[in-house]
């Protein structure tokens, strides 16, 4: 079963919904139908109550979509490729290839979302004065939600928009990496404060604090990693002494290789061409007499030697691979593993501290 499905396209950007959203939709309709105004419609007669609750739940997703769409459209103006907008149980996310690094551009992209939410909130607030109890109740709730959405996103901590806004301010005065470090520290401090506050007042805050704390650390880790690994090429750090396997070999032979070479995965090569990968995971449940060609993974992602080491690590993390074959014209010229890259990063950091600089790093 697919985890998400496409809803529609708007301004050339596809909007997708994760299946977790259906659970939330049901839950929201229920909450709205039992909560009194202004946060629900429990005071209305049944047909109105159901219709309003349903419309309101759908409208919340529309608000989140418009927020993300606003980020996306501004990002696209700066040449950022937007892969689409995904709506899921915790909100929405605009899937962008990479965020602009120029402070003024990052600021514009980050502020676009909250600005759209505030705009929608203010318009809805004005519409809530319509002398019609049904429409008025709906627009009041819609206004509240959009304003809360804007405020929540302005919290100065990654992965919220506020964290990016803070970094863009800092990055005007210092390096991008240092600005990220400080912004992440502010985010973590805020998360700790939020958690302590949550213990006494609202347990939900503890959950949000955890989300904020992890988001801040993840952003910092990624940027620092890119700072170190982004300048190196896969070709400089790959292992060139690659141990191959052929499709006709037996699983038991691969098991012997695993013990002998201690690599957890091997490229499967047929007539000089890469046809698959076989890893520890593939042979765990396989018959020792089975052919490698029958149990190997055919879904292989390869990289070229000139790709940056950071890019390779990103691909591995996103796709859940432990290693990538390095390929030129269908031939395997090397292999690069996640543990290799982590080690390379440690070495480079130490060398940098020692003041050692290689020309290309
Ligand atoms: Zn946002």
**CA 56 to CA 38: how far, in whole Å?**
12
**CA 144 to CA 149: how far, in whole Å?**
8
Instruction: Note the pLDDT of residue 356.
Output: 53
Nearest to 234 by CA among 325, 98, 357: 325
82 and 207 share a domain? Answer: no
The CA 115 to ligand 1 mean position distance, Å, reads 9
50 and 187 share a domain? Answer: no
Catalytic annotation on 68?
A: yes
The CA 111 to ligand 1 mean position distance, Å, reads 8
Q: Which of 124, 154, 184 is the last residue of a domain?
A: 154
Residue 225 inside a domain? The answer is yes
141 and 29 share a domain? Answer: yes
Residue 163 inside a domain? The answer is no
Q: Which of 125, 154, 183 is the last residue of a domain?
A: 154
β partners of residue 329: none
149 and 20 share a domain? Answer: yes
C-alpha dihedral, 194 to 31 to 37 to 46, nearest 10°: 180
The CA 110 to ligand 1 mean position distance, Å, reads 6
Nearest to 166 by CA among 99, 107, 104: 107
Per annotation, catalytic residue among 68, 106, 219, 220: 68
Residue 360 inside a domain? The answer is no
Structure tokens at 74: 């501004």
HSE-CB for 140 with a 13 A CA cutoff: 17
Given a cut of 50, the residues of the chain with pLDDT beneath it are 1, 358-361
The CA 233 to ligand 1 mean position distance, Å, reads 33
Q: Do residues 95 and 83 make contact, with C-beta atoms less than 8 angstroms apart? A: yes
- Residue 26 lies in domain: 4-154
Residue 355 inside a domain? The answer is no
136 and 23 share a domain? Answer: yes
107 and 43 share a domain? Answer: yes
pTM for the structure as a whole? 0.69
Instruction: Note the pLDDT of residue 271.
Output: 84
141 and 200 share a domain? Answer: no
Domain count, the chain: 3
286 and 318 share a domain? Answer: yes
CA angle at 237 for the pair 234 and 243, rounded to the nearest 5°: 95
Chain-centroid distance, C-alpha 347: 27
Instruction: Note the pLDDT of residue 66.
Output: 92
Residue 60 inside a domain? The answer is yes
The CA 351 to ligand 1 mean position distance, Å, reads 38
87 and 31 share a domain? Answer: yes
81 and 104 share a domain? Answer: yes
Q: Do residues 272 and 200 make contact, with C-beta atoms less than 8 angstroms apart? A: no
183 and 312 share a domain? Answer: no
The CA 154 to ligand 1 mean position distance, Å, reads 8
What is the maximal distance between C-alpha atoms in the chain?
80
């Amino acid at each position: 079963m697919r985890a998400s499905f496409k809803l529609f396209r708007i301004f050339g950007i596809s909007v997708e919904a994760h299946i977790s959203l259906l659970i939330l939709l049901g839950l929201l309709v229920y909450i709205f139908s039992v909560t009194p105004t202004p946060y629900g419609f429990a005071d209305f007669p049944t047909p109105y109550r159901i219709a309003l609750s349903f419309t309101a739940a759908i409208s919340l997703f529309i608000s989140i979509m418009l927020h993300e769409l606003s980020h996306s459209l501004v990002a696209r103006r700066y040449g950022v490729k937007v892969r689409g907008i995904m709506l899921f149980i915790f909100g929405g996310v605009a899937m962008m290839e990479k965020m602009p690094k120029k402070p003024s551009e990052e600021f514009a992209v980050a502020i676009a979302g909250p600005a759209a939410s505030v705009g929608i909130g203010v318009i809805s607030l004005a519409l809530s004065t319509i002398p019609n109890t049904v429409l008025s109740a709906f627009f009041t709730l819609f206004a509240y939600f959009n304003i809360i959405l804007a405020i929540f996103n302005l919290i100065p901590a990654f992965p919220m928009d506020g964290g990016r806004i803070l970094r863009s301010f800092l990055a005007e005065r210092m390096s991008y990496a240092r600005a990220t470090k400080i912004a992440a520290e502010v985010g973590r401090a805020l998360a700790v404060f939020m958690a302590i506050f949550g213990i006494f007042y609202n347990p939900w805050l503890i959950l949000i604090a955890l989300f904020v704390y992890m988001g801040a650390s993840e952003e910092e880790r990624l940027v620092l990693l890119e700072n170190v690994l982004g300048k190196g090429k896969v070709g400089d750090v790959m292992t060139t002494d690659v141990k191959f396997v052929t499709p006709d070999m037996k699983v038991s032979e691969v098991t012997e290789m695993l013990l002998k070479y201690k690599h957890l995965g091997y490229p499967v090569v047929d007539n000089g061409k890469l046809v698959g990968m076989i890893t520890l995971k593939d042979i765990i449940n396989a018959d020792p007499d089975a052919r490698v060609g029958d149990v190997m993974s055919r879904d292989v992602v390869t990289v070229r030697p000139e790709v940056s080491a950071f890019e390779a690590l990103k691909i591995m993390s996103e796709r859940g691979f432990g290693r990538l074959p390095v390929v030129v014209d269908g031939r395997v010229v090397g292999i690069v593993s996640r543990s290799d890259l982590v080690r390379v990063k440690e070495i480079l950091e130490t060398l940098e501290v020692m003041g050692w600089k290689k020309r290309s790093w």
